[in-house]
Each structure stands twice: as structure tokens, then as C-alpha cells.
Amino acid sequence: MTDVVVHGFQRSTYVNIVRLVLRHKGIDFRFNDLETQIGSPAHFALHPFGRVPILEHGDFRIYETSAIVLYIEDTFKNRPLMPSAPKDRARVHQWISAVNGYYYPYMIYHLVHERLVFPPLGIAPDEKVVQASIPQINRGLDILERSLEETGDHLVGALSLADFFLYPSIYALNLSPEGQEMLPRRPRVAGWLKRMDDLETVRAFRAATPTPVPIEHARAWVDGHRPRY
């Protein structure tokens, strides 16, 4: 019986980062689906800011995805995902911070929520939110394209936490009509996405992931944390 538990909901971008890293390292874990408990006292007891994921390892509990994956990396040494050189390590942290600050907010919180999360719930997309996201996403993709021109197959040297941190955002972007138009215009980004999709870790993750269903608790986002323009 494993003592590693990931709490979250199935379609969460950040939860998927943690699940991919655990799977890549071959760590057995239990997934606790919080979908019906989001915002409840039980959820806030796990995460005082009311977000996901949360990781438990024995009696140790931690939230915030960057802290979680760095803890996993430090604790489970096989198949390392952090380079050893200080400059490369700094680059990985730069990418993690860029995902949190610039990629996830526009790709997921703006575009993907409006195109792929709200419509299946019968909630009309807010085109102002979509339009506000487009230049920011284009900018992020251009920066990524130029960066891959220099680094080659991965964001920083060999496959690292940087790739796994960015991947779920770009994967979801590619499911939107806007993403399908934007990504082919950046051949290096498109190539990187294909390489990530083809990783054995990612294939196994997809095979083990249930067919996506509407995120019921996202109905509350309309009055909660939907961007307003």
C-alpha cells in the first residue's frame, strides 16, 4: 500500500504536472478526487487557499505544485529531472516561474476555461476574456519558439521539470481552436509538444486517465475567479 497521495480533480493542469512527474519516476501513488468536495471545509483543511494539488507522503503534507515536484525530485532520486549545473537549475526555476506567471494564466485560466471548461457546462464563453488572452499567448509561444531554437529538444538540456511543468498547459492549449491555429505557426514548439506527447510516461498517463467529463465545480468560477474585462 503506497503512502503517496495526490489530492486534486481529474482535469486540473497543475494536478497533471504532479501526476506526470510521479509516473515518470515510477512512484506508486493514490489519487484522491476532490471534485465533489472543492471549496468544502475538508478541502480547505488540505489547502488553505482552496486550490489543488496537494501531496501527502506519509505524515508529510505539502501544497503548491513547484514545491511538490521539487520535493518529489529531492526525495525520489531515480530518473532525475533537475540538472546539476547551477545555471541550468536556475533555468528550470525560471521556466517554472514563467509557467505560473505568464503561460498558465493566459492559456488555461483565460482561454481554456472559456473554450473548453465553460461551454460543456452550458455557460457561454466570454469573448472579451478570449481576446485578451490571444496576444499574451502569442508572446509566450514566440518566447518558447526562440528558446527551443537555442536549446533543441527540451527547455533546458535533457528532459527536466521545466518540460513537465509547461507540458499540460500547451497540451490543453492545443485542444482549443485558437491553439490549433497558433501552434503550427511555431514549428519548434509543435515539435516539442509532439516529443512530449510521445514520451512513454505521457502515453502511460493518458492511458490511465479517465475520459474527460465536464468540471462541475467550475460553475462557481463564473462568480469566483473568472477574469473580467
Question: Applying CB under 6 A, which residues contact ligand GSH?
Answer: 12-14, 38, 51-52, 64-66
**Shortest separation between residue 30's beta carbon and ligand GSH, angstroms:** 19
Q: Which is nearer to ligand GSH, 37 or 138 (CB)?
A: 37
Find out whether 20 and 170 touch, Cβ atoms under 8 Å: no
* Closest among 184, 146, 192 to 167, alpha carbons compared: 192
For residue 113, give the DSSP letter. I
Q: Cα–Cα distance between 74 and 80 in angstroms, integer?
A: 9
Radius of gyration from C-alpha coordinates of the chain: 17
**Shortest separation between residue 184's beta carbon and ligand GSH, angstroms:** 26
**Shortest separation between residue 50's beta carbon and ligand GSH, angstroms:** 6
Residue nearest to ligand GSH (CB): 51
Q: Which is nearer to ligand GSH, 85 or 222 (CB)?
A: 222
Q: Which is nearer to ligand GSH, 96 or 148 (CB)?
A: 96
**Shortest separation between residue 63's beta carbon and ligand GSH, angstroms:** 6
Q: Which is nearer to ligand GSH, 43 or 186 (CB)?
A: 43
Instruction: Look at residue 18 and give its three-state secondary structure.
Output: helix
Name the grid cell of 119: 461551454
**Shortest separation between residue 165's beta carbon and ligand GSH, angstroms:** 9
Q: If you count DSSP H runs as helices and E runs as strands, how many of each does the chain have, helices first?
A: 10, 4
Q: Cα–Cα distance between 62 and 47 in angstroms, integer?
A: 8
* Closest among 57, 54, 53, 83 to 163, alpha carbons compared: 83
Q: Which is nearer to ligand GSH, 10 or 136 (CB)?
A: 10
